[in-house]
């Protein structure tokens, strides 16, 4: 690695001189600094921790949900050791990996059966393939969503082998639209998709879940609800007016699909819950093996659902819920503490506390803006873009946003044990007298 880095730096230096980008070699110390920086960069892991100072709770680019302490402990326990992943200890014979989360999942949700696959797109594809391959699936035209990463309902349906039958218009879909689209022997399921990352407002109408259930009974078809966000705890008191998994299942739907790493606050995964006859079909489907999750995901998912045994406790122990439900007054106090610490350590920055609006993120609650507070920093000689870049280049990158020509450190998504590191980053920046 050392020899390789020396060669790369000297070759780049030689090329820059020959092409006129540099007219001198520089000092020995400068050259050594470049070589050491190159070696250090190569030793860094690609996937590493960052500090999220953006105020976006479920930041997709930063890994979405942080896990609870118990979920992390469960991961470490199974990662270090052999496990009963597919072994029934009581019977002394082969078991099923689905069993590890199904018991707690059905207990918490009230569903008859459940399973977990590697994400919600996989859950959607598996469900459609197992229940409606070569059949029509009726969906409202206003619910043909695209989630980040080019996950589009029509394309997933096509890949599953089901046939899309879209009904209604972008803004209005009625029960009669589903009835008129039904073809006996050709229609395999009714599907409702929660528009978790956008809203259609104004002159609108949609068919609610209870109506979908009645239509399903009338036509003798399973009703599939692709919920996406996976909210378990009612957060309406905190401004998040999203449907919950429990309320959806109480309507009598046959299958619900949702993500593990969004509002549930768990690891990446696609949770499938509902009537046993349909879940059993999916467990037996060949795609189930292709989409199955590993022991670490199962351990984290099981631990996350155990947290929901006490909803009040879950709001404290599951980071996503804790961040969303933290009162604005508490956020202001934290912002003032961080601002005071930075202010006392630097001379070349102005530091203030400002009210701001935070986002849930992750394709969830798109219209919700949470009242928050941020530490607003301006450099006397450094442009905000330069400050942002230097913070991003820290050993633990600090990811911020620039608002009104200031660097915003939004405290909703910053842990208090990260304050010291942030202060140290500004202290180092201040002491170097870096100029933009």
CA distance 160 to 155: 9
216 and 346 both lie in a single domain: no
Task: Provide the domain limits for residue 402.
Answer: 44-63+325-435
Residue 4 falls inside a structural domain: no
pLDDT tens, residue order, the chain (436 aa): 788 888 888 888 788 777 777 777 677 777 787 788 777 777 778 899 999 999 999 999 999 999 999 999 999 999 999 999 999 999 999 999 999 999 999 999 999 999 999 999 999 999 999 999 999 999 999 888 876 656 788 888 889 999 999 999 988 999 999 999 999 999 999 999 988 666 777 788 888 999 999 999 999 999 999 998 899 999 998 888 888 999 999 999 999 999 999 999 999 999 999 999 999 999 999 999 999 999 999 999 999 999 999 999 999 999 999 999 999 999 999 999 999 999 999 999 999 999 999 999 877 777 789 999 999 999 999 999 999 999 999 999 999 999 999 999 999 999 999 999 999 999 999 987 544 4
CB half-sphere exposure, 355, CA atoms < 13 A: 6
As beta bridge partners, residue 433 has none
Nearest to 98 by CA among 276, 325, 220: 276
**Of 317, 338, 373, which one is at a domain's C-terminal end?**
317
CATH number at residue 132: 3.40.640.10
* Number of domains present in the structure of the chain: 3
Distances (CA, A) of 194 to 214, 236, 369: 18, 17, 19
**Of 266, 297, 317, which one is at a domain's C-terminal end?**
317
Q: Which pair of structure tokens corresponds to residue 436?
A: 């933009």
**Of 317, 339, 371, which one is at a domain's C-terminal end?**
317
Residue 1 falls inside a structural domain: no
As beta bridge partners, residue 139 has 166, 191
CATH number at residue 411: 3.90.1150.180
199 and 246 both lie in a single domain: yes
Distances (CA, A) of 228 to 11, 146, 196: 50, 11, 7
At residue 45, φ and ψ (nearest 5 deg) are -70, 150
288 and 331 both lie in a single domain: no
196 and 178 both lie in a single domain: yes
Residue 6 falls inside a structural domain: no
49 and 161 both lie in a single domain: no
- The conformation of residue 90, written as its DSSP 8-state character, comes to T
Residue 2 falls inside a structural domain: no
102 and 213 both lie in a single domain: yes
Residue 340 falls inside a structural domain: yes
Q: Which pair of structure tokens corresponds to residue 367?
A: 């219209």
């Amino acid at each position: 690695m050392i020899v390789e880095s020396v060669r790369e730096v000297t070759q780049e230096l030689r090329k820059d001189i020959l092409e006129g980008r540099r007219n001198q070699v520089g000092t020995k110390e400068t050259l050594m600094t470049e070589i050491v920086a190159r070696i250090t960069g190569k030793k860094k892991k690609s996937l590493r921790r960052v500090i999220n100072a953006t105020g976006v709770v479920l930041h997709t680019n930063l890994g979405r949900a942080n896990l609870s302490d118990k979920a992390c402990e469960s991961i470490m326990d199974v990662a270090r050791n052999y496990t009963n992943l597919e072994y029934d200890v009581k019977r002394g014979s082969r078991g099923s990996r689905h069993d590890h989360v199904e018991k707690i999942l059905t207990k918490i949700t009230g569903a008859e059966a459940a399973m977990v696959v590697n994400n919600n797109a996989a859950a959607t594809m598996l469900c459609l393939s197992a229940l409606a391959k070569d059949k029509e699936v009726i969906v409202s035209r206003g619910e043909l969503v695209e989630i980040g990463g080019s996950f589009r309902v029509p394309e997933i349906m096509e890949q599953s082998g089901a046939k899309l039958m879209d009904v209604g218009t972008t803004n209005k879909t009625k029960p009669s639209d589903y009835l008129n689209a039904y073809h006996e022997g050709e229609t395999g399921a009714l599907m409702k998709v929660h528009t978790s990352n956008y809203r259609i407002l104004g002159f609108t109408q949609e068919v609610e879940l209870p109506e979908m259930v009645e239509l399903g009974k009338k036509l003798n078809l399973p009703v599939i609800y692709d919920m996406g966000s996976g909210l378990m705890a009612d957060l309406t008191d905190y401004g998040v007016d999203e449907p919950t998994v429990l309320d959806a299942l109480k309507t009598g739907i046959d299958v619900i699909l949702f993500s593990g790493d969004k509002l549930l606050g768990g690891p990446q995964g696609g949770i499938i819950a509902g009537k046993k006859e349909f879940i059993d079909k999916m467990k037996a489907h060949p795609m189930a093996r292709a989409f199955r999750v590993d022991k670490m995901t199962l351990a984290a998912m099981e631990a996350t659902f155990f947290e929901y045994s006490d909803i009040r406790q879950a709001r404290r122990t599951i980071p996503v819920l804790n961040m969303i439900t933290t009162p604005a007054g508490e956020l202001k106090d934290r912002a003032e503490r961080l601002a005071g610490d930075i202010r006392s350590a630097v001379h070349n920055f102005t530091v203030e506390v400002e009210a701001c609006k935070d986002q849930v993120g992750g394709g969830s609650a798109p219209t919700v803006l949470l009242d928050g507070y941020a530490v607003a920093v301006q450099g006397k000689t450094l442009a905000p873009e330069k400050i942002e870049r230097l913070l991003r280049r820290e050993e633990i990158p600090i990811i911020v946003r620039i608002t009104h020509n200031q660097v915003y450190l939004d405290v909703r998504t910053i842990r208090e044990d990260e304050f010291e590191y942030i202060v140290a980053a500004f202290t180092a920046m201040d002491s170097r007298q870096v100029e933009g």
